[in-house]
Amino acid sequence: MAGLDPDDWRGLRALGHRMLDDMFDRLEHVGDGPVWRPMPGQDRDALRTGLPRRPAPPEEIYARFTALIAPYATGNTHPRFMGWVHGAGTGVGMLAEMLAAGLNANCGGRDHAPIEVEREVIRWAAEMVGLPTTTSGLLVTGSSMANLIAIVTASRARPDGVALRHTGVGARPLVGYAARTAHGCIARAFDICGLGTDSLRLIDTDDAHRMCPQALARAIAADRQAGREPFIVVATAGTVDVGAVDDLETIGAIARDAGLWFHVDGAFGALARLAPRHRAYLDGIEQADSLAFDFHKWAQVPYDAGCVLIRDAGAHAAAFAQTLAYLQREDRGLAGNAPWFCDLGPDLSRGFRALKVWMTLSAYGADRLGEMVDACCAVAAHLAARVEREPDLERLAPVTLNIVCFRVRASDAFNAELVKDLQEAGIAAPSTTTINGRCAIRAAIVNHRTTNADVDALVDAALERARSRS
């Protein structure tokens, strides 16, 4: 029995060309259909075939993809998808995914060009936010993983910190700080790395939803007084609920003066550093000891592509590197080219995520991406202004970047049901959050395809439903 390649490549090649054409058709007309459609039970059932034991023709499998999978995707490529914080992708990114899969490179390490591409992408990322180009880093699944890696590195960059790799954190009273509005993955990182979520102090925020610097300073002092060991301050550049940006200069200065690691979670907000009209909100990001952000959100690289940057390359390697006989580094040959990316995070085998980032940044350029970020913020400003003009609507939070939280002047239950109705009707896909105890309709404009007309359609549909209710 031979390998898995076809005897005759012509059939698969023709199918590949058809897939490419179909996907370009889909992207070209992505705004025509509903944003999202719920997957019917019979189609869910149809996917439950049990393990296939015998070969099937790729054409048949593709027909199943077309019928059962493609129609029921998340919808984040659609211009009226505004829920959560989702990037929309690009045609260039899609092609890059295909090329990367064709090379099928393992970017855990070794001496090959894909490693050099990832190193270059990390240098570009550092340049984007004003960190030195000697900054270490790697591409990961997303900001959840990037934040985890930064927090682990920070905990091991303490005096005797590297010893924790052998002894475990045990009774070491390490504590860290983030605003109440920090993303849930920060607490999760404290949980996963054994520090425990109680060791993450959640600092109060001001009226603008930003971390209160005085409260941070007081919390650090109180922990020191009590004999605990503060080690990290996590600021957020672009909070997930309202898009607020912590005062990075002030928070960074407090961290530095207290001898603490200054980490920034800039999952989507970091991209605003490229945006001429919004970059000033991120002043101070260049002071960070580490930064987590996503290329798959505002940079429009297809999922998944997160990035962690760590200013002190030595501290990064000291936190993760291992020496193992079966991963011996050599001075030449395929096992050369140390350090390897597997020394900088938990993954050994790693895909070639860097290619889609490299191709996206190459195709559009940082300036064009920055203009796109400004354009998203302008759409958000248009939505906020419209909300303020409509007597039946109420804005619930200030709009700094690209997130608008508002509500119909009706009960929380009405607003929550309204969002589900809009999603199920395929008209628009905002999400919800809670602002000052009230249910908010939340529109996050992270999508380069979303226009003023799209957010107006959201408002029109919301108002129509509100009126037909009364």
Ligand X SMILES: *Cc1c(COP(=O)(O)O)cnc(C)c1O
CA distance 225 to 158: 19
Report the residue from 142, 230, 284, 345 that binds ligand X according to the rule CB under 6 A. Answer: 142
For 83, residues 6+ apart whose C-beta sits below 8 A from its C-beta are 423, 429, 430, 431, 442, 444
Query: How near is the Cβ of 107 to ligand X at its closest, in Å?
Result: 19
Q: Tokens 């102090």 — which residue?
A: 201
User: Which residue's C-beta sits nearest to ligand X?
Assistant: 142
Report the residue from 76, 77, 144, 450 that binds ligand X according to the rule CB under 6 A. Answer: 144
CA distance 191 to 59: 46
Judged by CB under 6 A, which stretch of 195-203, 263-271, 274-282, 348-356 contacts ligand X? 263-271
Report the residue from 109, 306, 351, 430 that binds ligand X according to the rule CB under 6 A. Answer: 306
Report in angstroms the alpha-carbon separations of 343 from 84, 147, 288, 346: 32, 17, 22, 8
| Binding-residue pattern over the window 213 to 242 for ligand X, x denoting contact by CB under 6 A | -----------------------x-x-x--
Report the residue from 82, 85, 275, 373 that binds ligand X according to the rule CB under 6 A. Answer: 85
Query: How near is the Cβ of 313 to ligand X at its closest, in Å?
Result: 23
Q: Tokens 């501290």 — which residue?
A: 315
- Cβ proximity to ligand X: between 291 and 422 the closer is 291
- Cβ proximity to ligand X: between 109 and 306 the closer is 306
CA-based end-to-end distance of the chain: 71
Beta bridge partners of 406: 395, 441
Report the residue from 90, 143, 153, 155 that binds ligand X according to the rule CB under 6 A. Answer: 143
What is the b/e burial string over 389-425, where b = at least 16 CB atoms within 10 angstroms of the residue's CB? Answer: ebeebbbbbbbbbbbbbbbbebeeeebeebbeebbee
Beta bridge partners of 235: 264
Query: How near is the Cβ of 173 to ligand X at its closest, in Å?
Result: 26
Q: Does 300 bind ligand X (CB under 6 A)?
A: no
- Cβ proximity to ligand X: between 235 and 408 the closer is 235
- Cβ proximity to ligand X: between 185 and 254 the closer is 185
The closest of 109, 150, 66, 80 to 329, measured between CA atoms, is: 109
- Cβ proximity to ligand X: between 114 and 238 the closer is 238
What does the longest C-alpha to C-alpha distance in the chain come to?
76
Q: Does 137 bind ligand X (CB under 6 A)?
A: no
Q: Tokens 């924790």 — which residue?
A: 164
Judged by CB under 6 A, which stretch of 39-47, 56-64, 141-149, 435-443 contacts ligand X? 141-149
| Binding-residue pattern over the window 27 to 66 for ligand X, x denoting contact by CB under 6 A | ----------------------------------------
- Cβ proximity to ligand X: between 235 and 422 the closer is 235
Q: Are 112 and 354 in contact (CB under 8 A)?
A: no
Q: Does 265 bind ligand X (CB under 6 A)?
A: yes
| Binding-residue pattern over the window 432 to 451 for ligand X, x denoting contact by CB under 6 A | --------------------
The closest of 44, 319, 272 to 161, measured between CA atoms, is: 319
Query: How near is the Cβ of 244 to ligand X at its closest, in Å?
Result: 10
Query: How near is the Cβ of 358 to ligand X at its closest, in Å?
Result: 19
Q: Does 87 bind ligand X (CB under 6 A)?
A: no
- Would you call 206 helix, strand, or coil by DSSP? coil
CA distance 110 to 108: 7
Judged by CB under 6 A, the chain residues 145 through 204 that form the site for ligand X are 183, 185
HSE-CB of 158 using CA atoms within 13 angstroms: 21
Binding site for ligand X (CB under 6 A): 85, 142-144, 183, 185, 236, 238, 240, 265, 267-268, 294, 306
